[in-house]
Chain A
């Protein structure tokens, strides 16, 4: 009975679809991210939902493109991530991998993707090396990177008068990259970095470092850390009356999921850069409401939004190229301007960097918020061309 209906619908679908296209292209997309650890909330299952929504919105089935989505947990370990990526490419016939937060895993997967000549659309990782000195012709980097975050938070803060900085930097390569990029931006904009402290990663108690930051009298305390470190340092900054003392906190890599974890009481006044905020305009609101319904009421993060946009753009390129051949699709992706409901209009550079606007937000006071997830007010918009590193400076030497 069940089999019969299944067969019938299948036949029906085939009959309906066949006149529209000459041939069927079937694609297998793998969403590889953290599903159990620190970054599970900002990527995780939400990214899979976002990828599925992209397939729905593109109406892939009607256009003769069959898409299957698989997912796995890389546990933030490069060796686990690279095993899965190899297996997906070699054995399971996966055509592209999406998301991949955690820079170390992303860099490993990017190398494998090049070796196997497939496509990686990265949304979750922040390392600007992905489109810099470690760039490959097969990697597209969506959403954000350390350079853009530094441009947004560093540059805009200096312009707003926050011209002396103290950094609390998580003691690992990613934290140091954030600090390095932000320092360059701040000095260029006429600001000054008066001090910094390297905090063991991951850390729990930041009060000692906050005291050092307080003593530095810097106007802005830059948090070059992520995840639990950021949450802990902001929570304790509130406790030590840092913001009441007139110093501003600037999160260099803070996601809406972190703000949600902190609550507005603790996070208010924090300044941060994001590529996407659900409440930005009607289009993002409509999409995000749909997303939240599928994701247990949780609003999307910019990483999840980036997976959606990247998947959508990929599908458009496949449709236009009429093939899933890697070189052809990547060429199409880079040649076609990006345009979607979430990131607006943009483009993909020769090195694989996606260019779109970034936004500097300030976290609302509890009294300003109208309800759950109403967290940000816009401070300024950073045009894409200013936010991201120009190809010439990126250190990527891919031919145009």
Chain B
């Protein structure tokens, strides 16, 4: 049931990649290109839009860590994303924390939540795992709805101050904030990349591909699963907390189940189990939401068609297809 990444996506072949020098070089060059793109982006595109893409890209990468490399399909990642964004918005607004502290605190809460939920969820597999995560996330949604003192109900926490970075540099200007968000994003991506290619990541992949075998080799599969779950929740939280500062807003949309669905979509469109896929996927989906906004109710139809086309034609996702062409894992 959990073998979806191995049978379809080219992820299975990534194990080979670590010994392959040319792939490592390619990845390094791609990261340099990505960094260059980040520097140029705010001058070419609208900074707030780029920041939105970055937040969702980080969210999708975090999700992909769990699904693509841990083989666990969570249908409740909105819980960590949304809760972190609430905490970060609340502490920045009510306690007057500086943005970096608010973001850290939000991330920490997501990690904590991920530990509790993960410990419950990893006891089941496949579709049941997905359903438990969904159900737990729905409870978080319910909690958010029922505590308007903290979350502001469906109005959300509005007018969150962007504050001053380290108490010194004002982030009110979009460009100033952009550099912080870009830095957070890049750090997040590099850390996840490190995790995937560390011995820990290798064991996770082994468990994903064949759990009984990994166990027989002496690995405590559940510990690894929990660890990867917590890491994924933490980075999802980092993305959510940053988003709250960017939009100066935390709302129920972030904890609703459709948000969990959206991140699955981003990951799949980009390419499951690829390093760069979720980034591309997030960019595509956010751009679609943004630029199709004037289409009205046709947006749904267009989105639906893309879903269907993705499943029928580009099952490996955009980056997955490219990886197949150049015969290198991306």
Direct contact of A and B (CB under 8 A): yes
| A19-72, CB < 8 A from B | 35-36, 40, 44-45, 70-72
Among the stretches A82-90, A244-252, A355-363, the one at the interface with B is A82-90
Is B52 a contact of A78 with CB atoms below 8 Å? no
SS class, residues of chain B in contact with chain A: helix
Among the stretches B109-117, B147-155, B316-324, the one at the interface with A is B147-155
B295 contacts the other chain (CB 8 A): yes
Is B155 a contact of A107 with CB atoms below 8 Å? yes
Among the stretches B96-104, B206-214, B286-294, B307-315, the one at the interface with A is B286-294
Is B253 a contact of A78 with CB atoms below 8 Å? yes
Which residues of the partner chain A approach B300 to less than 8 Å between Cβ atoms?
A: 36
Residue from A35, A45, A103 whose CB has the most chain B CB atoms within 10 Å: A35
Is B290 a contact of A82 with CB atoms below 8 Å? no
Bound Cα distance from A108 to B244, whole angstroms: 13
Q: Pick from A73, A90, A91, A107: contact of B295, CB below 8 A.
A: A73
Which residues of the partner chain A approach B154 to less than 8 Å between Cβ atoms?
A: 103-104, 172-174
Which residues of the partner chain B approach A111 to less than 8 Å between Cβ atoms?
A: 158-159, 248
A134 contacts the other chain (CB 8 A): yes
A340 contacts the other chain (CB 8 A): no
**B70 to chain A: closest CB distance in Å?**
28
Residue of A nearest to B155 (CB): A104
Bound Cα distance from A70 to B296, whole angstroms: 12
Known: A83-B247, A87-B48, A91-B46. A72 touches B293 (CB 8 A): yes
Bound Cα distance from A268 to B154, whole angstroms: 31
Which residues of the partner chain B approach A70 to less than 8 Å between Cβ atoms?
A: 294
Residue from B148, B243, B289 whose CB has the most chain A CB atoms within 10 Å: B289
A127 contacts the other chain (CB 8 A): yes
Q: Pick from A45, A108, A127: contact of B249, CB below 8 A.
A: A108
Q: Pick from A79, A90, A108: contact of B46, CB below 8 A.
A: A90
Bound Cα distance from A172 to B155, whole angstroms: 9
| B240-254, CB < 8 A from A | 243, 247-249, 251-254
Bound Cα distance from A172 to B48, whole angstroms: 29
Other A-B pairs beyond A71-B294, A78-B158, A104-B158, 11, CB < 8 Å:
A35-B296, A70-B294, A73-B294, A73-B296, A74-B293, A78-B249, A82-B248, A87-B46, A111-B248, A174-B154, A176-B153
Task: Name B's A-contacting residues (CB within 8 A).
Answer: 46, 48-49, 52, 145, 148, 152-156, 158-159, 174, 243, 247-249, 251-254, 289-290, 293-297, 299-300
| A-B residue pairs, 9 tightest by C-beta | A35-B296, A173-B153, A36-B297, A72-B293, A78-B251, A172-B154, A104-B155, A77-B253, A111-B159
